[in-house]
Each structure stands twice: as C-alpha cells, then as structure tokens.
Amino acid sequence: MTAYSFIQNSFPTIFDNIKSNIGNKVGSGADGECYLFNNDSVIKCSILYDCKDSNSLMTDYNNLVEKFNFLINHSPSHIVKLFNYKLVGTNFRDTDFGKQEYLLHYYVMEKLIPISNDEGKVFHTIISHNDFNKTKIFSKDKLDEMLNNLSLGLDFDKTKVTLFYNQIQESLIEHKDLHERNVMKDINNNFKLIDLDRLSWRKK
C-alpha cells in the first residue's frame, strides 16, 4: 500500500479534509508519493516505519519537524519552498515478523518543473550520489573546469549550476539522498532540492 492509501484507509476523516484538493500523482519514492494540490502546489504523503534498530517514530518525526520549521522560517533558495506540514497519526500493519508500527504525515510545497536531460547529466556528475556511496566536493577551480568541459556537449546555465552547487555545500541543512532525481527548478530556472524526508543538520 502507498502512504496515500494508508491515510485514506487508516485516517478517513483527515483524508476527507484534503482529498478534494488533491490532483494527479506527479511522483513517488521510498518515503511516499507526491500529488498536485490546489492546482498550484504539491502535497507529499509520507510514511515512516518502525525499524526497531532506530529511534522511536515520534523522535524521527520530531527531528524532521525541526528541519521543516527551519525551511518555513528561512526559505533557503536552493530547497523547495515548504508551506505547511501535518502529522496524520500512527497505526500498525501486519508483516511476516509481526505487527509493525508506522507513522503518516504530509507536507505541502511549491510546484516545480523537471530539469532537462542535459541538466540531469551535469548534476549526476557534480553532486554526491548516495546510490553509489560517493561524496563529491570540488574546489572552485575544479568545479569551474568540470563545468567548462561539460558545456562542450551539454546545454545548461553554468552560473545557476555553480550557485546551486555552492548553496548545497554551504547550507546548514544537508540532504542525505543527494542525486539528480532530487533536483528540480522553478519558473525562473533556479535549481532546488526536493524530497524533504531526507534532511539532516550538517555536521560541523
């Protein structure tokens, strides 16, 4: 079942309050699914599972809320704008290993547009790609050299890419699932990170 279905089945009253504003599905991932919301924004229905070897679900969620509040109060320009969020509740599901608790929540954010194939290739090259457990941190000169080389065969705005890369490296918020599939852009072609379920404080 999807996070959306869990909300619909486990918390029908809350689902009834939002369903009339939910439009077509626009994306999905390990944590949940995204839908158009009120035509001009996006809602992500998310789920956390109790894995026994980690914090309690409420501790994990409250840690996430700290980052949500930071985003709402400070609106860092390289991260999708967050409008609001809500804890839906907790419940249990049957698994092969017994009952497993889960926590449902959702958040509403600005509507963005996909990056181009060329831009995706650029970000695949220059930002961390946790699918392969790689961390990519380049000096200013090295980044400049790489982007110059990439520009010979790919179409992208080098200035905006450089700004976005520097914002990621300097931010107080660290994205723990950093790859090109979690990059989109706004109507002004400014790049932004999505998938807010995977945020942490940057270690000093």
pLDDT greater than 60 at residue 155? yes
Mention every residue, 6+ apart, whose C-beta is less than 8 A from residue 46.
Answer: 3, 31, 32, 104, 105, 106, 107, 197
Mention every residue, 6+ apart, whose C-beta is less than 8 A from residue 36.
Answer: 22, 23, 24, 26, 42, 43, 111
Q: Which residues are paired to 44 by β-bridges?
A: 34, 107
Q: What is the distance between the alpha carbons of residues 194 and 184, in angstroms, rounded to a whole number?
A: 7
For residue 194, which amino acid is it?
Answer: I
| Residue pLDDT, tens place only, 40-59 | 999 999 999 998 766 799 99
pLDDT greater than 90 at residue 76? yes
pLDDT greater than 90 at residue 172? yes
- Determine contact, residues 106/178, Cβ cutoff 8 Å: no
| Residue pLDDT, tens place only, 96-153 | 888 999 999 999 999 999 999 999 999 999 997 655 556 678 999 999 999 999 999 9
